Amino acid sequence: MKMQRLARRELFVALSFLTPSFIGFCLFYLIPFGTSLLYSFQDGLNRSSLTLSNYKELLLSSSFQKAAANTFWFTAVSVPILVTLSLVVALLLNQRVFFRNLLRTAYVLPLVVPVASIVLVWQILFDWNGAMNVVLNHFGLNRIDWMKSDWAGFVVILIYIWKNIGYNVVLFLAGLQNIPDQYYEIANLEGASSRRKFFSITLVYLTPTTFLVVLMSILNSFKVFRETYLVAGAYPHDRIYMMQHYMNNMFLSLDIQKLSAAATLMALSILVLVLILFRAEKKFRSFME
Protein backbone atom coordinates (compact mmCIF):
# COMPACT_ATOMS: atom_id res chain seq x y z
CA MET A 1 0.00 0.00 0.00
CA LYS A 2 2.86 2.31 0.88
CA MET A 3 4.59 1.52 -2.43
CA GLN A 4 1.41 2.34 -4.35
CA ARG A 5 1.13 5.73 -2.62
CA LEU A 6 4.79 6.42 -3.42
CA ALA A 7 4.26 5.45 -7.06
CA ARG A 8 1.19 7.73 -7.30
CA ARG A 9 3.12 10.57 -5.74
CA GLU A 10 5.99 10.14 -8.22
CA LEU A 11 3.50 10.01 -11.07
CA PHE A 12 1.85 13.21 -9.85
CA VAL A 13 5.23 14.98 -9.58
CA ALA A 14 6.20 13.83 -13.07
CA LEU A 15 2.90 15.03 -14.54
CA SER A 16 3.29 18.36 -12.74
CA PHE A 17 6.63 18.92 -14.45
CA LEU A 18 5.35 17.75 -17.85
CA THR A 19 2.10 19.73 -17.83
CA PRO A 20 3.58 23.19 -18.66
CA SER A 21 5.53 21.75 -21.60
CA PHE A 22 2.48 19.83 -22.80
CA ILE A 23 0.31 22.95 -22.63
CA GLY A 24 2.91 24.89 -24.62
CA PHE A 25 3.16 22.08 -27.16
CA CYS A 26 -0.62 22.09 -27.62
CA LEU A 27 -0.89 25.88 -27.88
CA PHE A 28 1.98 26.47 -30.28
CA TYR A 29 2.17 23.20 -32.26
CA LEU A 30 -0.69 20.74 -31.93
CA ILE A 31 -3.68 23.13 -32.08
CA PRO A 32 -2.23 25.30 -34.92
CA PHE A 33 -1.43 22.18 -36.96
CA GLY A 34 -4.92 20.79 -36.39
CA THR A 35 -6.42 24.12 -37.48
CA SER A 36 -4.19 24.16 -40.55
CA LEU A 37 -5.25 20.61 -41.39
CA LEU A 38 -8.90 21.67 -41.19
CA TYR A 39 -8.27 24.71 -43.40
CA SER A 40 -6.65 22.50 -46.03
CA PHE A 41 -9.98 20.71 -46.57
CA GLN A 42 -12.11 23.86 -46.64
CA ASP A 43 -13.27 25.85 -49.62
CA GLY A 44 -12.29 29.49 -49.52
CA LEU A 45 -15.86 30.61 -50.23
CA ASN A 46 -17.85 27.90 -48.49
CA ARG A 47 -16.07 26.86 -45.31
CA SER A 48 -18.94 24.74 -44.03
CA SER A 49 -18.15 21.90 -46.46
CA LEU A 50 -15.00 19.83 -46.79
CA THR A 51 -13.32 19.26 -50.13
CA LEU A 52 -10.16 17.89 -51.71
CA SER A 53 -10.02 20.65 -54.32
CA ASN A 54 -7.16 22.41 -52.53
CA TYR A 55 -4.97 19.33 -52.76
CA LYS A 56 -5.95 18.77 -56.39
CA GLU A 57 -5.05 22.34 -57.37
CA LEU A 58 -1.87 22.09 -55.35
CA LEU A 59 -0.66 18.92 -57.04
CA LEU A 60 -1.44 20.34 -60.48
CA SER A 61 0.37 23.62 -59.75
CA SER A 62 3.65 23.96 -61.64
CA SER A 63 5.09 26.12 -58.86
CA PHE A 64 4.35 23.45 -56.26
CA GLN A 65 5.77 20.70 -58.47
CA LYS A 66 8.97 22.69 -58.98
CA ALA A 67 9.28 23.46 -55.26
CA ALA A 68 8.64 19.83 -54.26
CA ALA A 69 11.14 18.48 -56.82
CA ASN A 70 13.85 20.94 -55.76
CA THR A 71 13.30 20.14 -52.08
CA PHE A 72 13.46 16.40 -52.77
CA TRP A 73 16.69 16.62 -54.77
CA PHE A 74 18.26 18.99 -52.28
CA THR A 75 17.57 16.58 -49.42
CA ALA A 76 18.67 13.54 -51.46
CA VAL A 77 21.99 15.14 -52.39
CA SER A 78 22.91 17.25 -49.36
CA VAL A 79 22.04 14.84 -46.52
CA PRO A 80 24.37 11.98 -47.61
CA ILE A 81 27.20 14.48 -48.20
CA LEU A 82 26.62 16.10 -44.80
CA VAL A 83 26.47 12.80 -42.91
CA THR A 84 29.61 11.47 -44.63
CA LEU A 85 31.63 14.63 -43.99
CA SER A 86 30.43 14.77 -40.38
CA LEU A 87 31.57 11.19 -39.78
CA VAL A 88 34.97 11.86 -41.40
CA VAL A 89 35.55 14.96 -39.27
CA ALA A 90 34.42 13.14 -36.13
CA LEU A 91 36.84 10.28 -36.85
CA LEU A 92 39.67 12.78 -37.29
CA LEU A 93 38.79 14.58 -34.08
CA ASN A 94 38.61 11.27 -32.22
CA GLN A 95 42.25 10.60 -33.09
CA ARG A 96 45.43 12.45 -32.24
CA VAL A 97 46.01 14.46 -35.40
CA PHE A 98 48.15 17.59 -35.37
CA PHE A 99 45.34 19.89 -36.56
CA ARG A 100 42.69 18.51 -34.18
CA ASN A 101 42.34 21.77 -32.21
CA LEU A 102 41.83 23.73 -35.44
CA LEU A 103 39.09 21.33 -36.54
CA ARG A 104 37.39 21.55 -33.15
CA THR A 105 37.25 25.34 -33.46
CA ALA A 106 36.03 25.14 -37.05
CA TYR A 107 33.09 22.84 -36.39
CA VAL A 108 31.93 24.84 -33.35
CA LEU A 109 31.84 28.20 -35.16
CA PRO A 110 28.64 27.58 -37.22
CA LEU A 111 26.77 26.77 -34.01
CA VAL A 112 27.44 30.19 -32.46
CA VAL A 113 27.51 32.54 -35.46
CA PRO A 114 24.17 34.33 -36.15
CA VAL A 115 22.40 33.51 -39.42
CA ALA A 116 22.64 37.10 -40.67
CA SER A 117 26.42 37.00 -40.31
CA ILE A 118 26.57 33.67 -42.13
CA VAL A 119 24.56 35.07 -45.03
CA LEU A 120 26.78 38.14 -45.22
CA VAL A 121 29.87 35.95 -45.52
CA TRP A 122 28.35 33.83 -48.27
CA GLN A 123 27.16 36.93 -50.13
CA ILE A 124 30.71 38.27 -50.07
CA LEU A 125 32.00 34.96 -51.40
CA PHE A 126 29.47 34.40 -54.21
CA ASP A 127 28.46 37.91 -55.25
CA TRP A 128 29.10 39.02 -58.85
CA ASN A 129 32.05 41.03 -57.50
CA GLY A 130 32.74 38.55 -54.70
CA ALA A 131 35.79 36.59 -53.70
CA MET A 132 35.06 33.51 -55.84
CA ASN A 133 34.81 35.54 -59.04
CA VAL A 134 38.02 37.37 -58.13
CA VAL A 135 39.75 33.99 -57.90
CA LEU A 136 38.26 32.93 -61.26
CA ASN A 137 39.48 36.13 -62.90
CA HIS A 138 42.92 35.57 -61.45
CA PHE A 139 43.14 32.23 -63.30
CA GLY A 140 41.74 33.72 -66.52
CA LEU A 141 38.24 32.25 -66.18
CA ASN A 142 34.93 34.01 -66.76
CA ARG A 143 32.85 35.24 -63.85
CA ILE A 144 29.81 33.25 -62.76
CA ASP A 145 26.57 34.76 -61.53
CA TRP A 146 26.38 32.16 -58.80
CA MET A 147 22.94 32.91 -57.35
CA LYS A 148 21.22 33.41 -60.73
CA SER A 149 22.39 30.22 -62.43
CA ASP A 150 22.30 26.49 -61.82
CA TRP A 151 25.28 26.98 -59.49
CA ALA A 152 22.83 28.39 -56.93
CA GLY A 153 21.97 24.85 -55.81
CA PHE A 154 25.66 24.18 -55.17
CA VAL A 155 25.94 27.34 -53.07
CA VAL A 156 22.89 26.45 -50.95
CA ILE A 157 24.27 22.95 -50.33
CA LEU A 158 27.55 24.47 -49.14
CA ILE A 159 25.70 26.81 -46.78
CA TYR A 160 23.59 23.92 -45.44
CA ILE A 161 26.64 21.72 -44.84
CA TRP A 162 28.65 24.49 -43.20
CA LYS A 163 25.78 25.40 -40.91
CA ASN A 164 24.86 21.88 -39.76
CA ILE A 165 28.10 19.90 -39.79
CA GLY A 166 29.11 21.01 -36.29
CA TYR A 167 26.03 19.60 -34.58
CA ASN A 168 26.40 16.28 -36.40
CA VAL A 169 30.09 16.06 -35.49
CA VAL A 170 29.22 16.49 -31.81
CA LEU A 171 26.74 13.61 -32.03
CA PHE A 172 29.19 11.35 -33.86
CA LEU A 173 31.96 12.16 -31.36
CA ALA A 174 29.67 11.18 -28.50
CA GLY A 175 28.88 7.90 -30.25
CA LEU A 176 32.56 7.16 -30.99
CA GLN A 177 33.62 7.78 -27.41
CA ASN A 178 30.95 5.37 -26.14
CA ILE A 179 32.43 2.45 -28.10
CA PRO A 180 34.42 0.27 -25.64
CA ASP A 181 38.17 0.17 -26.36
CA GLN A 182 38.23 -3.55 -25.62
CA TYR A 183 36.68 -4.33 -29.00
CA TYR A 184 39.50 -2.58 -30.84
CA GLU A 185 42.11 -4.24 -28.60
CA ILE A 186 40.71 -7.68 -29.39
CA ALA A 187 40.60 -6.82 -33.09
CA ASN A 188 44.25 -5.73 -32.97
CA LEU A 189 45.24 -9.00 -31.30
CA GLU A 190 43.46 -10.92 -34.06
CA GLY A 191 45.22 -8.89 -36.74
CA ALA A 192 42.14 -7.15 -38.11
CA SER A 193 42.76 -4.43 -40.67
CA SER A 194 41.67 -0.82 -40.18
CA ARG A 195 38.96 -1.31 -42.79
CA ARG A 196 37.61 -4.40 -41.01
CA LYS A 197 37.57 -2.58 -37.66
CA PHE A 198 35.77 0.38 -39.20
CA PHE A 199 33.00 -1.65 -40.82
CA SER A 200 32.66 -4.38 -38.17
CA ILE A 201 33.02 -2.30 -35.01
CA THR A 202 32.78 1.44 -35.57
CA LEU A 203 29.86 1.56 -37.99
CA VAL A 204 27.95 -1.18 -36.16
CA TYR A 205 28.08 0.57 -32.80
CA LEU A 206 27.40 3.94 -34.43
CA THR A 207 24.08 2.72 -35.83
CA PRO A 208 21.85 4.54 -33.28
CA THR A 209 23.92 7.72 -33.60
CA THR A 210 23.90 7.53 -37.40
CA PHE A 211 20.13 7.14 -37.36
CA LEU A 212 19.79 10.25 -35.20
CA VAL A 213 22.22 12.23 -37.37
CA VAL A 214 20.39 11.28 -40.58
CA LEU A 215 17.05 12.15 -39.02
CA MET A 216 18.25 15.56 -37.80
CA SER A 217 19.95 16.26 -41.14
CA ILE A 218 16.73 15.54 -43.04
CA LEU A 219 14.72 17.78 -40.74
CA ASN A 220 17.30 20.56 -41.06
CA SER A 221 17.27 20.25 -44.85
CA PHE A 222 13.61 21.27 -44.79
CA LYS A 223 14.60 24.42 -42.88
CA VAL A 224 17.14 25.75 -45.37
CA PHE A 225 14.64 28.43 -46.45
CA ARG A 226 15.99 30.97 -43.96
CA GLU A 227 19.48 31.07 -45.42
CA THR A 228 18.23 30.81 -49.00
CA TYR A 229 15.73 33.61 -48.50
CA LEU A 230 18.36 35.95 -47.05
CA VAL A 231 20.86 35.15 -49.81
CA ALA A 232 18.59 35.06 -52.87
CA GLY A 233 15.31 36.72 -51.82
CA ALA A 234 11.68 35.58 -52.01
CA TYR A 235 11.89 34.63 -55.71
CA PRO A 236 15.27 32.94 -56.18
CA HIS A 237 16.58 31.02 -59.16
CA ASP A 238 14.41 28.06 -60.18
CA ARG A 239 17.11 25.68 -58.98
CA ILE A 240 16.69 26.72 -55.32
CA TYR A 241 12.96 27.46 -55.25
CA MET A 242 12.04 25.26 -52.26
CA MET A 243 8.81 24.24 -50.56
CA GLN A 244 9.33 26.93 -47.96
CA HIS A 245 9.46 29.56 -50.70
CA TYR A 246 6.17 28.31 -52.09
CA MET A 247 4.47 28.37 -48.69
CA ASN A 248 5.87 31.80 -47.91
CA ASN A 249 4.47 33.15 -51.19
CA MET A 250 1.09 31.57 -50.45
CA PHE A 251 1.13 33.27 -47.06
CA LEU A 252 1.93 36.66 -48.61
CA SER A 253 -0.97 36.23 -51.04
CA LEU A 254 -3.22 35.13 -48.11
CA ASP A 255 -4.09 31.85 -49.84
CA ILE A 256 -4.49 30.08 -46.50
CA GLN A 257 -6.14 26.97 -47.92
CA LYS A 258 -3.30 26.16 -50.34
CA LEU A 259 -0.74 27.09 -47.70
CA SER A 260 -2.36 24.67 -45.24
CA ALA A 261 -2.52 21.92 -47.86
CA ALA A 262 1.16 22.39 -48.72
CA ALA A 263 2.12 22.35 -45.04
CA THR A 264 0.09 19.17 -44.48
CA LEU A 265 1.74 17.38 -47.42
CA MET A 266 5.15 18.48 -46.21
CA ALA A 267 4.44 17.23 -42.68
CA LEU A 268 3.15 13.93 -44.11
CA SER A 269 6.31 13.53 -46.21
CA ILE A 270 8.53 14.10 -43.16
CA LEU A 271 6.46 11.60 -41.17
CA VAL A 272 6.85 8.97 -43.90
CA LEU A 273 10.63 9.54 -44.02
CA VAL A 274 10.89 9.20 -40.24
CA LEU A 275 8.86 5.96 -40.26
CA ILE A 276 11.08 4.56 -43.02
CA LEU A 277 14.19 5.43 -41.01
CA PHE A 278 12.77 3.80 -37.88
CA ARG A 279 11.91 0.69 -39.87
CA ALA A 280 15.36 0.54 -41.48
CA GLU A 281 17.12 0.91 -38.13
CA LYS A 282 14.95 -1.79 -36.56
CA LYS A 283 15.71 -4.22 -39.38
CA PHE A 284 19.44 -3.45 -39.21
CA ARG A 285 19.52 -4.05 -35.45
CA SER A 286 17.66 -7.35 -35.78
CA PHE A 287 20.05 -8.38 -38.57
CA MET A 288 23.12 -7.59 -36.46
CA GLU A 289 21.72 -9.48 -33.47
Q: Which residues pair with 42 in a beta bridge?
A: 50
Q: Which long-range contacts (CB under 8 A, 24 or more apart) does 81-86 make?
A: 81/157, 81/161, 82/160, 82/161, 82/164, 82/165, 82/168, 82/217, 83/168, 83/210, 83/213, 83/214, 83/217, 85/161, 85/165, 86/165, 86/168, 86/169, 86/171, 86/172, 86/213
Q: Is the pLDDT of residue 263 over 90?
A: no
pLDDT at 2: 64
Question: CATH top-level class for 62-288?
Answer: mainly alpha
pLDDT at 183: 81
Q: Is the pLDDT of residue 157 over 70?
A: yes
pLDDT at 48: 66
3-33 confidence digits (pLDDT tens):
677 778 888 888 888 888 889 888 888 888 8
Report the chain's mean pLDDT, rounded to a whole number: 81
The stretch 124-145 carries a mean pLDDT of: 81
* Least confident among 112-121, 175-184, 260-269: 112-121
37-96 confidence digits (pLDDT tens):
888 887 765 666 777 888 888 888 888 888 888 888 988 999 999 999 999 888 888 876
pLDDT at 82: 93
Q: Where are the domains of the chain?
A: 62-288
pLDDT at 98: 61
195-226 confidence digits (pLDDT tens):
888 887 888 888 888 888 998 898 888 888 77
Q: Is the pLDDT of residue 174 over 70?
A: yes
